[in-house]
């Protein structure tokens, strides 16, 4: 019996490795729009964050999302990501 390999990804905030399913995917769509992808299926370039809002704050401070996507990320996008994350964690 073979065990299935679990894909691992690194959180942009704390820089720790986690199984892909435990992280929230931040995606830059082909149109350049940035959003949280809780299902992990949205098309575009992905970067990953823990479900911990502190990691989003760290990633925001270090501009890790902007570096991952090689584009400037407006402050409004960070605010929207924070609101989305809080809403998701509240469920």
pLDDT tens per residue, range 42-60: 999 999 998 888 888 899 9
- Domain around 45: 9-90
89 burial (CB, 10 Å; 0-12 / 13-18 / 19+) is exposed
Residue 2 lies in a domain: no
Residue 83 lies in a domain: yes
Look at residue 65 and give its three-state secondary structure.
helix
Total-model pTM: 0.83
Domain CATH for 56: 3.30.1230.10
To 10 degrees, the CA torsion angle through 12, 47, 79, 89? -80
pLDDT reported for residue 7:
93
């Amino acid at each position: 019996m073979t065990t299935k390999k679990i894909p691992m990804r690194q959180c942009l905030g704390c820089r720790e490795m986690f199984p892909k399913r435990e992280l929230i995917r931040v995606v830059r769509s082909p149109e350049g729009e940035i959003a949280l992808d809780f299902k992990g299926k949205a098309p575009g370039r992905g970067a990953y964050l823990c479900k911990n809002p502190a990691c989003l704050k760290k990633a925001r401070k270090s501009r890790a999302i902007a570096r991952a996507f090689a584009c400037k990320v407006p402050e409004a996008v960070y605010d929207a990501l924070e609101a989305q994350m809080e809403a998701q964690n509240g469920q």
